[in-house]
């Protein structure tokens, strides 16, 4: 399970802060998130953002673009 926090364009993952750059939907579950000069894959059903479970790739993307 990936547990992220997101606020004001900053993603925190494992205690490290990254600047959010963009997200690319791969399929209904998978998203590649470009952050801090790297790309990390996140999966719906295996990711929480700010304590809320993300069921799909669209949930992840919609949470990050707000």
Contact 24, 34 (CB under 8 A): yes
Q: What is the pLDDT of residues 7-40, one digit of tens each?
A: 999 999 999 999 999 999 999 999 999 999 999 9
Q: Would you state the pLDDT for residue 58? A: 97
Q: What is the pLDDT of residues 31-54, one digit of tens each?
A: 999 999 999 999 999 999 999 999
- Rounded to an integer, what distance in angstroms lies between the CA atom of residue 31 and that of residue 23? 7
Q: Would you state the pLDDT for residue 65? A: 87
Contact 41, 31 (CB under 8 A): yes
Mean of per-residue pLDDT scores for the chain: 96
Q: Would you state the pLDDT for residue 44? A: 97
């Amino acid at each position: 399970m990936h547990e992220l926090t997101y606020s004001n364009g900053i993603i925190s993952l494992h205690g490290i802060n990254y600047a959010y750059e963009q997200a690319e939907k791969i399929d209904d579950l998978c998203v590649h998130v470009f952050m801090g000069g790297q790309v990390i894959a996140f999966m719906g059903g295996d990711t929480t953002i700010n304590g809320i479970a993300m069921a799909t790739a669209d949930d992840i993307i919609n949470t990050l673009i707000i």
